[in-house]
Structure formats: C-alpha cells, structure tokens
Amino acid sequence: MSSVIGDNLIQLLTEQSNLYQSQNAAKWKVSPEALKWSNITPEEMRKYLGLIILMEQARKENIRDYWSTDPTISTSIFPRTKSRNLFESIWQGWHFSDNRQQTQVSERLFKIWPVYEYFVQKLRSEYSPKQELSLDEAMIPWRGHLKFKTYNPGKIT
C-alpha cells in the first residue's frame, strides 16, 4: 500500500479534509462529539484509510457495527485504532479538492481531480507492464448516466 499511497496523497487528503471541515462546520448540525473535532493529522488519515480498507475484509451491516461491543459481531481493531466519533467526523469531512476553486466550466471530475492526477502519475512511475495488455469494456456492465460512459446493448457480453 505504501508504494502507491504515498505521503503526498496522505498530505493532500489531510489538507483538503481539514479545509472542507473548516469551510462547512457552521452548516452542519453540531453534536457534542463534533465540538471536539480538530484538524486531523496525516497519521490519523493513514489510520482512517487503513480502516476503510479493512471494512472491505470484515463486512458489517452498518458502519457503527465495526465499533460494536457485542461479542458476536465485534472487531477489536476498529475501536483500538480510532474512536467511532472521530471516524464519523472524518467520514463527513473527507474531501479531495477545494470547492472554492470550482467554476461553471470546471471538469466533470473536478471533485476528485487531484486524486486522479496523483494516481495517474504514481502508476506511470511505479507500474511498467511486461507485455501488452488489453481491457474489453464489454466485461464491465454499465447502465448509468455519465457522459463519458455509454451502454451498448449490442455487445454480446
């Protein structure tokens, strides 16, 4: 994970999440737990991303179930790593770009563009295939409404 998710990405996510939280704190309903929120650190962001990856391995019905004390569904690494309230605060404020820079003519992917650019650059420098590879879009079913993706019912797959 560390070769792809580097310090630059962690720093970007931390800065943008802190910025987004400070810009929108007045808009959100404030609970007693949210009052304790302060700017997150890169280390907290690393733990947050690690927990998100672990959530895929230990699937639960609800996000709050990961911090459950019920012995039948408890997963001890979650409460040991980060409090549920802090995790939910970061979840609410997790952001990838500064909304103030968005204009009417911004790219469709503006909100995720810095992360997209990071991964394109990182994968170009880290990954070099040993042979020519091909991906057939027909293997990925799609019926959504994005302008850069289309559904082709004539494909056999």
The whole-model pTM stands at 0.72
Reply yes or no on whether the pLDDT at 56 is more than 80: yes
Query: Over pLDDT 90: what percentage of the chain?
Result: 27
Q: Which pLDDT value is given to residue 41?
A: 93
DSSP 54-88: HHHHS--SSGGGGG---TTT--THHHHHS-HHHHH
Residue partners of 10: CB distance under 8 A and separation at least 6: 42, 45, 46, 49
pLDDT classification of 49: cutoffs 50, 70, 90: very high
pLDDT at 27: 74
Task: Specify the pLDDT at position 36.
Answer: 59
Say if residue 120's pLDDT is above 80. yes
pLDDT tens-place string over residues 86-102: 898 888 889 998 888 88
The CB-based long-range contact list for 143-149 (8 Å cut-off, 24+ gap) reads 146/108, 147/108, 148/108
Residues sharing a CB contact under 8 Å with residue 150, sequence separation 6 or more, in sequence order: 142
pLDDT reported for residue 155: 64
